[in-house]
Amino acid sequence: MPRFLDPAVLSAISGLELVAKTVVDGFVAGLHRSADFGFSQEFAEYRAYTPGDDLRHVDWNVYARSERAYLKRYRGETNSLLTLLIDASNSMSYASGAVSKLDYARYIAASLAYLAIRTQRDAAGLVVFDDELRCVVRPSAREGQMHRVLAGLERAEPRARTRYEAPLEHVQGFVRRRGIVVMLSDFYATPERIVRAAEPLRFRGNEVVLFHILDRAELEPDIGASALLVDLETAERMEVNAEYAARDYRERIGAHIEALGTRARAAGLGYRLLVTDAPLDAALREYLTVRQGRD
């Protein structure tokens, strides 16, 4: 894995903007070297030249015929609207290694915002929620938007419990333009409830992607002979034994992931499981894929 896509390495970098730039630069460099993936070069439309645009993209044939400068725009170069929804409930603070789920979500959100704003010139916004909205940065491509999004990410602290209905309902209120809604959460709720909360966003023509963020220890818990576990959100205590953790629990969470992915796709939502010890490029790839598909 490229070093700067390793979340453990990123955790040592201070500053989300630097993290985001590092990730995106590394990601983009990888894309340019890849023969299998690249920006689409399919012609989409013309755009009038404005001072400052790159002259390499001017269609000189059109200029020769019309004496007016127009820029060719290709698929993938059209502007989009990215809304990032970050779950900052207490369960997102869990970490078995160097990076907690919330930190991982922060890295992804920052990288996506950087990719959208600086590279794709998209508008990006941020919503941080737990059982209610904690931070809202409306999508915009204006100057300083990147800093506003990063500041909102850095202020996000894990607390309270998770509640999807009210925050997503609020998001529906200000997402008026069609765009991409990326939701980063550990989704500790029934798949029906999650899809029911997120589906209305799809009805507005948005592309909704669920990034299911889990820690490796949540997928494969190792608790020894027995352990007394405490729920980070409800503070409930439960004594569990190794046999259950090794067998039944893994079956149940595997079934939940499967069910959530199936129902999400069935509802037209994008879904991807992200584990906090995995590189961040998967999330970026998913975003670009959705973006290009939308176009």
Partner 1 sequence: MGFLAPGFLLGALAVGLPLYLHLLRRQSGVPRPFSSLMFFERRLPVAAHRRRLRYLLLLAARIAVILLVALAFAEPFIPGSLAGAGPERLLLLVIDDSFSMRAGARLDAAKRSALALVASKPSGERAQVLLLGAEVRALTSATEDPRVLRAAVEGIEPGDSRASFALLPGAVRAIGASAGAPLEVHLVSDMQRTQMPPSFSELAMPPNAALELQPVASGAAPNWAVESVTAPGQVFDLRTLRIQAVIAGYGTPAATRTATLIVNGRSVATRRVAVPASGRATVEFDAPELPYGLSRCAVRIDPADLLAADDEYLFSIERAERRRGLLVHQAADTRSALYFSAALRAADPSAFVISPVETANVAQEDPSAYAFVVLSDVAALPERFSARLADYVMRGGSVLIALGTAAAQQPRVPLIAVPPLAAHAYSRAPAGFAAVGEADATFPAVGRTADWDGVRFFYAAGLPVADARVLMRLTDGTPLLSERRFGEGRVMLFASGFDNLTNDLPLHPVFVAFVDRLARYLSGSEGRVSSHVVGESLALRSVRDPAVGVEVIDPHGHRPLSLGASTTAESLPLTIAGFYEVDFANGRQDVIAVNPDRRESDLAPVPRDVLALWRGAAAVPGATTAHGAPRLRATAPYDLWWYAMTVLLAVCVAESALASRYLGTPREGP
Residues lying near partner 1 in the complex (CB under 8 A) are found at: 91-92, 94, 101, 186, 188, 215, 218, 220-234, 236-246, 248-249, 252-253, 256
Query: Shortest approach of partner 1 to residue 242 CB, angstroms?
Result: 7
Q: Which residues are within 8 A (CB) of 266 and not within 5 positions of it... i.e. 6 or more apart? A: none
Query: What CA–CA distances, in Å, run from 45 to 26, 78, 112, 227, 289?
Result: 29, 9, 25, 61, 20
Nearer Cβ to partner 1 (220/295) = 220
Nearer Cβ to partner 1 (47/163) = 163
Q: Which residues are within 8 A (CB) of 53 and not within 5 positions of it... i.e. 6 or more apart? A: 71
With 0-12 CB in 10 A as exposed, 13-18 as middle and 19+ as buried, what is 238?
Answer: exposed
Query: What CA–CA distances, in Å, run from 102 to 11, 118, 130, 181?
Result: 12, 23, 12, 18
Query: Shortest approach of partner 1 to residue 102 CB, angstroms?
Result: 11
- Name the token pair of 83: 């809304």
Nearer Cβ to partner 1 (69/223) = 223
Nearer Cβ to partner 1 (137/274) = 274
Query: Shortest approach of partner 1 to residue 48 CB, angstroms?
Result: 52
Nearer Cβ to partner 1 (31/242) = 242
- Name the token pair of 63: 């200029």
Q: Give the 3-state secondary structure of residue 74.
A: strand
Are the C-beta atoms of residues 262 and 199 closer than 8 Å to each other?
Answer: no
Nearer Cβ to partner 1 (44/223) = 223
Query: What CA–CA distances, in Å, run from 15 to 144, 147, 178?
Result: 16, 11, 31
